[in-house]
Each structure stands twice: as structure tokens, then as C-alpha cells.
Amino acid sequence: MKNNPLKNTGRRQFLQHGAAVTGAFVVGMYLPFTSDAATSTINDPALANAWVRITPDNQITLICARSEMGQDVYTSMPALIAEELNLPLSMIRVEIAGVAPVYVNALLGGQITGGSTSVREGFDKLRIAGAATRSVLVQAAANRWNVPAAQCKALNGKVSHANGMTATYGELAAEAAKLPLPEKPELKSPANFMVIGKQSMRRLDTPAKVAGKAVFGIDVKIPGMAIASLAQCPVIGGTPMTVDSVNAMKVSGVIKVVQISDGVAVLANNFYAARKGRDALNITWNEGAGAAITNVGMRKQLESGLSKPGAIIKTVGDASSNIANGKTLSAQYFMPYLAHSTMEPVNCSAEVANGKCRIIGPIQFQQGAQAVAAVASGLKSEDVTVETTFLGGGFGRKLELDFVRQAAEISKASGMPVKMLWTKEDDITHDFYRPMSVHQMDGALTASGKLSTLTAKMVSQSVTARAFPSFVKDGNDPFMVEGSANLTYDIPNIEIRNVIEDAGIRVGYWRSVSNTLNAFAVESFMDEAAKAAGKDPVQFRLASLQKEPRAVAVLKLAVQKSGYQAKSKSFGVAQMEAYGTYSACIIELDPSASSTKVKKITFVSDCGITIHPDQAKAQLTGGILYGLGAALYDEITIEAGRVQQSNFNNYPSVRMNQAPIVDVHLVPSQEKPGGLGEVGVPLVAPALVNAIATATGQRIRELPIRA
């Protein structure tokens, strides 16, 4: 998900309050929600939780409000605090935040990890919190020693004075807690950064993961807990009508069988018994209307949507009257449904007892999880606690709340604490899929071979209409326009439209959301336009990017680093801005291979100030390979309401022996940080089909390529 255009940006407010540990110093900072209903409680101190906690023993803790799913928030977020506290990163401990208004992601309007927003949203906020903390610690030391604060220096967990007096942050915590926090503390200049941007930075969560101490959702243990395996209708949305559990109860280790709203759970003392018991169930399902859904039917429905006007997303000049001028171009592109396919399957633990509900699991949307669990358990939201574990991959799947509801329902029905575990097959066949989309692109070239007009229409289901319907206004889903409304090209006449067409299958936000859909159409079409104009595709793009110097810089560096040759038939190119980051991708094919084989992917990004350069490159590399697998192999197909793919054998990821050389470069920049977790994904598919078109003359307009 990207920035919420409806956000209320209001003035930052700071609060400080005492912690449960005597003498501790806590700093919290509020940012408002997007709705008036939410802001009505934002200033209630009872809801204020802290970003920073310093205890008398000099333990300095960041309360991390973003879920860690491999993208490095457990290092990059503490780095922001460490920088302003003048601490080495190793001195910061990290705790996972509970649910509270103070932890709302101001770019998304909820306590959500997604949309490559964690660093973008936290960059100023956490540095301000760190700088304010440093300021009162220094003032506390100055007061104690009766010296001017300007003569005191905070460094490495201590405040010192030139005459030799020193005190640790922890020793000063109680006195600092009594001082007013500065609302606009002085922030360090990037030129003086000691932590941010340093190649030597090491991930704080690596030791725990290497030692097997990091707790993922699948690792959770609660005393007296049963393991639950849930039978779900083969057709998503179906419900159980009759259940025969006699044979399931005969399986050794099975404890109970309970029915919930959308399935039947077998509880056992281990997963294998629970799964065996589930397989022994005899269930009659009400498959519902979903049983009639087919891929062919859904695609026809989307294609018919091209005849609808839809919502106007962007207009420049007069595209309707200019489309017929010059040499006209027209192309249609298609993108399939995709599953998230995280390495850790969906899971969640729940305990509903004594008027309370406890939820523990890999969650991207904590407030939503609390609300759903409250309904499922029949309790008030304030009686529900949510504990977020590490996520073994998220990609948007764990923004959904179905698994939280199911775990709470199972615990309530059974009267036991439970850990519900899906199989990989459950995960792929019951996902919230990236939408299928159809794109109609039209354009006109001037006599000099420059694109003068561009019209684009995307027809797709709307994730937001299902998940956050209030954000969709007059047919405009703000998250469907990523990759199209933010075009970097200077084209005199532009018209972009979106048509929301509900094809019946449930859809969800998938890594980079609509950027992958729109970038495939836009960047493929730009290549087709370059060919029609008789221009080199790089030079053709550069001619329309003169108002975007950051886009020009990344594209030129990608050309340099890749060894791109204008007349070679081995290269394909694509570029875009996504989540505030400018990127260019050049793919080189192996000319000696008997079939399409990617030899090298060169990827250049300008993401502004980079917090953790090594991890930034890792995130881009992971996104590139994720995008490559989707482009080459992956699609979800549905027949009679049943998803046909079930595991890595028919929904594969790129294997190590299939991975090309991935060469990632970051442009040094002092711009505000852009996102990175999703940025590597969208450009791979268009760069690849552009390379194939250059090499073979065959234009691929439909993914996956194997199809």
C-alpha cells in the first residue's frame, strides 16, 4: 500500500510519562489517524505508549511499531533512534509494540506495516523522538552539575562534562523524565551521521535468528495449547453443512473437533495428528456462488470492462483530440492472479478465556487483528491483546485478518488455547490473490518520433473496495493508480482511467500492489513506441524524462553498470518511480542459451538517504527475484471455483540454479528516504519482455512468460 491521500497530517504532539519501572524514562509521540472518529481518542494519555524507554541500568529500548518480515525494521528503525541519541546501534534493544494509537502509521491511517512506508513514515518521527530524549538527558545532567547544557555532551550512553563528570543515560532517566520535551529539537545534519548510512551496520535480529531464538508465529507455545488443523471448503467462501468426525476422533492424539463459521478444526497434541484427523473428516460443503467461477469467465468480464468509462485518474493536455494525430499505436496487456506464497504458511495462536482474548502471530495490521478477534470472541476490543511475532514473509498476505478470526473462533469453540497451522496447500488455495488485470494502451508519435499522446485504461478488481471501502471515491481506488498516476514521463497529452470490475474471487495487496500491473503495461508500451519511432529504447525514454533528473540519473547509471549496447539484441530496459524511489532495470539475456535465459539483471535505485545500505541492496535483490519468478512462471488459475495451484511444484519460485547475476547499485542522495521493500518487483517483468522482443522480435503482452 502507498500513501493514503486522505490522511490528516496535523501537528505532532509529544507526551512523556512514567514507565512501570521506577525511574524509567519514556518518550512517546502522537501522530493523528485519518478519521475524525479516531482522532477523538488520540490525546488520551491512557493510550500513550512509548517509542523510547531508558531504565536505570542503562538499557535503552525502542518499541518497534512495525512488523519485521525480513525487511529490516528491527535494525533500520532503531538506527534512527541511535543516531540522535549518539549511540552505537548495538546499545539499542528492540521490543514489539502492542496495539495503541501512538503506533498508527501516518501514511496509511492505521497500525499497519506495508506500502514500503516503515522508514519513510518513521524517519522524522523517530529522529525527533531520539533528539528530544537526548535534549532532556543533557539538560538533566546540566541541572545536576549546575553547568550550562551547552557544555555537556551525550555520547555512547553517557553525558559528560569537560571537568570529568559523567552519568549514564540510565542514571539521568528519572530526572530527565520530569523535564518538558522540546517540541522541535535540533536534529543532526546528515553530514554528521554516525549510524545512518554506514555499511558496517549489522542487523540486530540476526543473532536470535541464527541461534533459533527468534519467535515466529509458527514457534509460539502457550501452556495447555492444542494444535489445530482447519478443513476449509475447496471453494473459497464455502461453508460446512454436515460434519462426520467419528473417524477423526479415532486418530491417536486428536483431542477435539470443532466447527467454526468457515471450516472445521481438528485439535490435537501435535500437528501431524491434527492433519491426519482433518483428512479423516467427512464434510458436506455448501460451495456457494463461488463454485461457478472460472478463469475464462473472469477474464472475459474484465475485458468487457474496457468498454466502460471508469474513473479518470490523470489528465494532461487533450489526449482525446490528439490521439489521432501522428502515427498511432495500440496494445493490450494482461496480468494474471498471483498468490503471495510466503515461506511461512498462515498461522495464528489464540487463547479466549476468562473474558479476555490473546492473539499471537505474524500480523501486519494490528488494529484490524484486535477488532476482528473481538468480534470472533464476543469481547470488547480493550479485552483483546495482540502480540506480533516475527513474520516468515508477509508481502501483504498477513495484512489480511481471516486467520486471526479463525484462531479466535477455534479457541472460543474449544475452550482451549490453540495454535492454528495452515499447510502450504491451504495457503496457496485460500489466499487473497493479486488481482487479474487488463490494460488498454494507446498513443501517438510525432513526426520526429516522440510520444505526444498516451491513453491508458486498466480494468481490475479493487482490493481497497473490499478491505477499506471508504477510501474508494467515485470509482477511484487510490491504490490502483500506483505505477500510472505517478508517470515520470513528460508527455504533452495524457489520459489515464481505471475501471473497477469485481470478478468474484477475493483479492489482496500483493508486494508492490498495482505498481506491477501498471508498470508492465506502461514500460512495455514505451518500448513498443520506441520501436515504432525507430529509436533506441533508452534514448527514447531519456527524451521524455528531462523534467525528472533523478529518473535520468538512475537510467544512465544502469546503462553504464550493465554494459548496455544500443544495437545489441540482448538487453531490455524499464524505469519508474515507486514509493518515492526512482529505479531503472536493465536485463541482459544469454545469447548462447537455446531458450530464454536471463544472464544478468542490473538494478539502480535512488531511494534518498539510505538507512542501511547493505540491507537496502538485499531488499532490492529479493524483490527482483520475487518479480522474476512471477514473470516467468506464476499464475493462479481457477476452475469450478477451485484454485488449481497448490505448492511449489506448480507455483514455483526462482531456484538458486535459475537465479541470474543480480547487480544492485544505490545512487548517493540527500533526498528524504523512499521505500525499498517492494521497489525491486515491478520493473523486472517489463524489462524482461522488452529484452525478449529485442532478441526475438516476439512481443509478449501477457504473463507469465511460460504461458
pLDDT digits (tens, 9 = 90+) for 181-195: 898 999 999 999 999
What average pLDDT does the segment 446-472 reach?
95
Number of C-alpha atoms within 13 angstroms, CB side, residue 1? 33
Q: pLDDT confidence of 25, banded at 50, 70, 90?
A: low
Question: CB 491: neighbour CB atoms within 10 A?
Answer: 17
What is the spatial distance between Cα 320 and Cα 526, in angstroms, rounded to a whole number?
19
pLDDT score at 51: 86
CATH number of 295-338+433-696: 3.30.365.10
User: What's the CATH number of domain 13-210, 3.40.50.720, 3.20.20.240, 3.30.365.10, 1.10.10.60?
Assistant: 3.30.365.10
* Amino acid occupying residue 664: V
- Structural contact between residues 259 and 223, judged by C-beta atoms closer than 8 angstroms: no
Whether pLDDT at 6 is above 60:
no
Q: For residue 478, say if its preceding peptide bond is cis, omega within 30 degrees of 0.
A: no
What is the share, in percent, of the chain residues with pLDDT greater than 70?
93
Whether pLDDT at 288 is above 90:
yes
Whether pLDDT at 22 is above 90:
no
Number of C-alpha atoms within 13 angstroms, CB side, residue 211? 7
pLDDT score at 106: 94
Output the CA angle 214-220-222, nearest 5 degrees: 135
Pinpoint the alpha helices (H) of 349-468.
366-377, 402-414, 424-429, 463-467
* Amino acid occupying residue 389: T
Task: Pick the range with the lowest mean pLDDT from 3-17, 160-174, 325-339, 645-659.
Answer: 3-17
What average pLDDT does the segment 268-296 reach?
97
Instruction: Using the Cα atoms of residue 149, residue 152, residue 158 and residue 162 in order, give the sign of their dihedral.
Output: negative
Number of C-alpha atoms within 13 angstroms, CB side, residue 670? 5
- Structural contact between residues 396 and 114, judged by C-beta atoms closer than 8 angstroms: yes
What average pLDDT does the segment 205-223 reach?
95
pLDDT score at 24: 63
What average pLDDT does the segment 434-460 reach?
96
More confident residue, 565 or 6: 565
The CA–CA distances, whole Å, from 649 to 71, 353, 428 equal 26, 41, 12
Whether pLDDT at 32 is above 60:
no
Whether pLDDT at 573 is above 60:
yes
Whether pLDDT at 321 is above 80:
no
Task: Pick the range with the lowest mean pLDDT from 403-412, 558-567, 575-584, 594-603.
Answer: 594-603
Q: Domain ranges for the chain, please list them.
A: 13-210, 217-288+346-421, 295-338+433-696
pLDDT score at 285: 98
What is the spatial distance between Cα 605 and Cα 148, in angstroms, rounded to a whole number?
45
What average pLDDT does the segment 408-427 reach?
98
CA 511 to chain centre: 6
Q: pLDDT tens, 269-279? A: 999 999 999 99
Whether pLDDT at 40 is above 90:
no
Return the residue matching grid coordinates 481506488.
477
What average pLDDT does the segment 392-397 reach?
96
What average pLDDT does the segment 168-187 reach?
91
Q: pLDDT tens, 670-704? A: 999 999 999 999 999 999 999 999 999 999 999 99
What average pLDDT does the segment 73-95 reach?
96
Beta partners for residue 489, in sequence order: none
What average pLDDT does the segment 191-203 reach?
93
Same CATH topology for 13-210 and 217-288+346-421: the answer is yes
Average pLDDT value for the chain:
92
pLDDT score at 27: 59
Whether pLDDT at 35 is above 50:
no
What average pLDDT does the segment 560-567 reach?
96
Write the burial class of residue 593 (CB in 10 Å: 0-12 exposed, 13-18 middle, 19+ buried): exposed
What average pLDDT does the segment 413-435 reach?
98
pLDDT score at 350: 98
CATH number of 217-288+346-421: 3.30.365.10
What is the share, in percent, of the chain residues with pLDDT greater than 90?
88
Who's near 492: CB < 8 A, 6+ residues apart?
316, 317, 322, 452, 453
Q: pLDDT confidence of 13, banded at 50, 70, 90?
A: very low
Beta partners for residue 652, in sequence order: none
Whether pLDDT at 594 is above 90:
no
The CA–CA distances, whole Å, from 417 to 263, 336, 377, 511 equal 18, 39, 12, 32
What average pLDDT does the segment 451-476 reach?
96
- Structural contact between residues 281 and 243, judged by C-beta atoms closer than 8 angstroms: yes
